[in-house]
Amino acid sequence: MKEIIVAKFGGSSLANGHQFKKVRDIVKADSRRRYIVPSAPGKSRPGDTKVTDLLYLCHDKMQEGLDISPVFSEIEKRYQEICRDLGLSIGIEEVLGEIRERILAGASRDYLASRGEYLNGIILSQYLGFEFIDAKDIILFNDEGRLDLKASEDRIRKRLKSVDYGVIPGFYGADGDGNIVTFSRGGSDITGSIVASSVRASLYENWTDVSGFLVADPNIVKDAKTMEVVTYKELRELCYMGAPVLHEESIFPIKMLGIPINIKNTNRPEDKGTLIVDESMNPPIRDSVTGISGKKDFTVIRVEKNLMNSEIGFIRKLVSIFERYRISIEHIPSSIDSLSVVVSNSNIAGKLEDIIEEIKRECQPDDIVIYPDMALIAVVGRGMAKTRGISGSIFTALANQGVRIRMISQDSSELNIILAVDREDFDKTVETIYGVIQQK
Ligand code: ASP
């Protein structure tokens, strides 16, 4: 069977005519790039607004009974400019006119938001000479507004069977009644992933404006290196702890099939980018640590009680208090007679005092100590299990920098080490760990 690559291009890759040309060069450079998923135009120049944001604004104006003309003209201008720069006369004005009519007739918020991708899809398909396939016919949502993956995959397979080269706009689909439904923001990533899983692509390329994921936040570590290969599992850990990456839901359709994702830079297509693969593919291990990420706003509640470890049901009693308050617990590191519950500040806000009272009443602890303003840092890497002394080197370096480590948690898979430090030590900790792993 001929190999297929599904390529999704983000808003910055399709923000103006100049960017469209780069996209065409990329698509045409490899005939395996058969199904292309565009986002709506992002910011074209400083001070610009993303088209999706303009569309949401248009809807808000409509709801408030205000004139939509100023905002809608801005949207029209963006698309007209792109067509002009590409030398395309494809009657985009008429399509825009129809959309305007639908808005004035009270079209839904999702319908409006989806038009950014719809229009970009029409333009890109014409520009590439590929068939346009409306996502409303192949990305299907159920009546609760949730994606029906199975039905969508069946539909996509049927529809694309006879399409050698096609453009499918990202971000939206339709429910059983044909109403447009969008994913959450950034959802074109999900469309690309569903198309890739349906056609059993050999690769899902996600083209953006960075050459992959960086090992650490570039605002903290200048010249941080790019991750060459990361597994889905590692990525999940890194995303969870704050690294801004792909839309979370975009991974599951292809993960099960072991289809790799390649994050690539439209402005530097020669860069390798980051390859995301399933652990079952046993990707080579080059570095002990794949990435470092973290978040700043946590509260740690340490509960102490003599002979806690032999009191049956103690942990259950404690965690069920948090459950009753609908607070998700991030970590529970423990020692023999003490246990810490780590929760995010936003989750516990306004509830902390009540929870402490309940812990006192139900668990009868000897002491409760609260540490507000803690930062958690995750050091993630499938290579850590094979590297002796990595935690030792990290802890020594942090001690030399005067960083006080408040908590350490490492699970037995040795995929990550999680450290809690005082919030003000966050940047120093990330920098120091990065320095250590560069020497390993
Ligand atoms: N255009 C949508 C957004 O701005 C979806 C996407 O770009 O993936 O969120």
pTM of the shown model: 0.85
**Distance, CA of 226 to CA of 337 (rounded, Å):** 42
CATH code: domain of residue 16: 3.40.1160.10
| Same-domain status, 159 and 296 | no
Strand-pair partners of 277? 231
Q: Is the pLDDT of residue 187 over 80?
A: yes
Walk across the sheet containing 367-380 and list its strands: 338-344, 291-304, 367-380, 416-422, 405-410
Give me ligand 1 centre to Cα 418, in Å.
Answer: 32
| Same-domain status, 204 and 306 | no
Domain ends where: 185, 209, 233? 209
| Same-domain status, 63 and 200 | yes
| Same-domain status, 318 and 422 | yes
CATH code: domain of residue 408: 3.30.2130.10
Mean pLDDT of 230-249: 78
**Distance, CA of 418 to CA of 380 (rounded, Å):** 9
Q: Measuring CA to CA, which residue among 81, 155, 87 is closest to residue 127?
A: 87
| Residue 256 falls inside a structural domain | no
| Same-domain status, 176 and 316 | no
* Residue numbers of the domain that contains 63: 5-209
The residue whose CA has the least distance to atom 8 of ligand 1 is: 186
Give me ligand 1 centre to Cα 184, in Å.
Answer: 8
CA dihedral over 237, 211, 128, 41, signed as positive or negative: positive
| Same-domain status, 59 and 155 | yes
- Nearest-atom number in ligand 1 for the CA of 247 is 8
| Residue 57 falls inside a structural domain | yes
| Same-domain status, 177 and 326 | no
Q: Is the pLDDT of residue 1 over 60?
A: no
**Distance, CA of 230 to CA of 290 (rounded, Å):** 7
Pocket test for ligand 1, best of 43, 117, 266 (most atoms within 8 A of CB): 117
User: Does 185 contact ligand 1 (Cβ within 6 A)?
Assistant: yes
Report the pLDDT value the prediction gives residue 386, as an integer from 0 to 100.
78
| Residue 47 falls inside a structural domain | yes
Yes or no: say if 309 and 337 are a contact pair by the CB < 8 Å rule: yes
| Same-domain status, 196 and 325 | no
Q: Is the pLDDT of residue 242 over 70?
A: no
Q: What is the pLDDT of residues 344-375, one digit of tens each?
A: 999 999 999 999 999 999 999 999 999 999 99
| Same-domain status, 205 and 295 | no
In 3-state terms the chain splits into helix, strand, coil percentages (rounded to 5) of 40, 20, 35
User: Does 208 contact ligand 1 (Cβ within 6 A)?
Assistant: no
What confidence category does residue 245 fall into, taking pLDDT thresholds of 50, 70 and 90?
low
| Residue 269 falls inside a structural domain | no
**Distance, CA of 50 to CA of 40 (rounded, Å):** 8
Mean pLDDT of 279-284: 81
| Same-domain status, 58 and 181 | yes
**Distance, CA of 187 to CA of 185 (rounded, Å):** 5
| Residue 239 falls inside a structural domain | no
The structural domain count of the chain equals 2
Give me ligand 1 centre to Cα 38, in Å.
Answer: 9
Q: Which residue has the higher pLDDT, 429 or 47?
A: 429
Helix, strand, or coil here: 290?
Answer: coil
Give me ligand 1 centre to Cα 47, in Å.
Answer: 18
Domain ends where: 176, 209, 242? 209
Q: What are the tokens at 305?
A: 């009680």
| Same-domain status, 12 and 137 | yes
| Residue 304 falls inside a structural domain | yes
Q: Which of 360-385 are b and which e, b meaning 16 or more Cβ less than 10 Å from the residue's Cβ?
A: eeebebeeeeebeebbbbbbbbbbbe
CA neighbours closer than 13 Å in the CB half-sphere of residue 59: 14
| Residue 232 falls inside a structural domain | no
| Residue 162 falls inside a structural domain | yes
What confidence category does residue 395 fall into, taking pLDDT thresholds of 50, 70 and 90?
very high
Domain ends where: 209, 225, 243? 209
Question: Phi-psi bin for 89: left (phi > 0), alpha (psi -120 to 50), beta?
Answer: beta
| Same-domain status, 200 and 335 | no
Report the pLDDT value the prediction gives residue 243, as an integer from 0 to 100.
59
Strand-pair partners of 8? 37, 206
Pocket test for ligand 1, best of 59, 79, 110, 171 (most atoms within 8 A of CB): 171
